[in-house]
Amino acid sequence: MVNGKVETPEGCEINVAYHCNLGCASCSHLSPAFRRSLAEPETIARDLALLARSFRAQFVKVLGGEPLLHPRLVEILHSIRAAGIAPRVLVCTNGLLLPRMGEDFWAAVDEVEISVYPGRELPEEARARILGHAEDHGVTLTVNHYSHFRYSYSEHGTDDEQLIRRIHATCQIAHVWRCHTVYEGHFFTCPQSVFIPQIIGDPQDIRADGLRITDDPGFAERLLAHLRSPQPLRACRNCMGSAGRRMPHQQRTRRDFRIPQQHTTEELADRRFLALLETVPDADDGCASAESAPLLPSPSLRKRS
């Protein structure tokens, strides 16, 4: 807590498009299971402006699904910056639509993070064009290559309370990377607690794991307690956290995306990696085929106009 605000050493996330133009197996946001669905820019602007009174992040990460599918993305990027919740705006994308983005997009971001999957690489000419746009606008460009995934959730889940607690306690998404998510007036520890209930049909309120964002004097303290709580979330009964078994990358259709997850948590858990996470919280999950590499220097080192 700094000057009455909760400060995180990482960022917070906004999912602007819940569907995607790819169907990556075990997508941690379950995007292949969603029909076309977009966040309302007005809702995002309202939520971040309110949250900024009690919360400070190092960056806001805009993602999905595939965020470049949102027709009002640039408007959203401007509203994020106007909220004053973080000094940097980052867009995370599979990159396939980047060659279509105009100068207004590149002028509105500080960093673009591209996730590249086997067989989905852009041609050299398109990569050069993207690099040129980033350089012209002082945008950091980071490329991550992935060859594997880990199972992100289980359709059948588990009732083993000890296993649920172990998975929650070792979840890199919540506790190491701190992928805290703002969604429809609520603050969530992780994106899985937003999306799992919507896909597997949890009869409970889909916002049950979130904290409603308010403007009362006690909100910052409640937010800090929410983030520090050792108690597993409801979604943890079906979430694999960081402990799912590893699988080679593959693309699946919307119709068959959920088939591989038709197992219990016990069947999909990587017990050896779970034990490793209990001693090495930031252990490499073995999914990246190459190190993340910034292709251009951070804009924080240069003054932006």
Predicted confidence pLDDT, tens digits, the chain (305 residues) = 999 999 999 999 999 999 999 999 889 999 999 999 999 999 999 999 999 999 999 999 999 999 999 999 999 999 999 999 999 999 999 999 999 999 999 999 999 999 999 888 899 999 999 999 999 999 999 999 999 999 999 999 999 999 999 999 999 999 999 999 999 999 999 999 999 999 998 767 888 999 999 999 999 999 999 999 999 999 999 999 999 999 999 999 989 999 999 999 999 999 999 999 999 999 999 998 754 455 554 443 332 32
Rounded to 5 degrees, what angle do the CA atoms 185, 54, 16 make? Answer: 35
* Cβ atoms 96, 117 nearer than 8 A: no
User: In Å, how far are 43, 97, 122, 173, 213 from 115, measured between CA atoms?
Assistant: 27, 12, 11, 17, 31
pLDDT at 119: 86
pLDDT at 26: 82
pLDDT at 204: 73
Tell me how crowded residue 71 is: count the other CB atoms within 10 A of its CB.
10
pLDDT at 118: 87
**3-state secondary structure (DSSP) of residue 226:** helix
| pTM attached to this predicted model | 0.92
- The set of residues, in sequence order, having a beta carbon less than 8 Å from that of 272 and lying 6+ positions away, is none
Rounded to 5 degrees, what angle do the CA atoms 29, 112, 139 make? Answer: 165
pLDDT at 289: 76
Beta bridge partners of 212: 186
pLDDT at 296: 54
* Cβ atoms 64, 31 nearer than 8 A: yes
**3-state secondary structure (DSSP) of residue 134:** helix
- The set of residues, in sequence order, having a beta carbon less than 8 Å from that of 14 and lying 6+ positions away, is 39, 44, 48, 60, 61, 62, 63, 76, 80, 181, 182
pLDDT at 305: 28
